Amino acid sequence: MNVYAKKGEKISVTEETIKNGSETDRRRAEKYLTVGKIYTVDSIVVMAWCSKVFIKEVPKLPFNTVLFKHQEPEISKEEAK
């Protein structure tokens, strides 16, 4: 995912991304996140060695950004014209 994603942007966990990060990252993801579910970025903290994302659906609990994939916004038929 983009570590500079803005608040409100959508991200998801995939079968591939849930295998990323440290053992602690993976355990937390398996406990609190669902593969295929779409989550909403609340904030991101970019650090020297890793970045953490806070999501609205699981407040106050940071997750390693490597666990997520950016979700492209859905385009309505009207916008596609």
pLDDT tens readout for residues 47-72:
999 999 999 999 999 999 999 999 97
Are residues 63 and 42 in contact, defined by beta-carbon separation less than 8 angstroms?
Answer: no
The region, left, alpha or beta by phi > 0 then psi within -120 to 50, assigned to residue 72 is beta
Tens digits of per-residue pLDDT, 31-41?
A: 999 999 999 99
C-alpha distances out from residue 40 to 37, 49, 81, Å? 10, 23, 27
Q: Which two tokens stand for residue 78?
A: 């009207």
Please state the domain extents for the chain.
10-72
Are residues 47 and 58 in contact, defined by beta-carbon separation less than 8 angstroms?
Answer: no
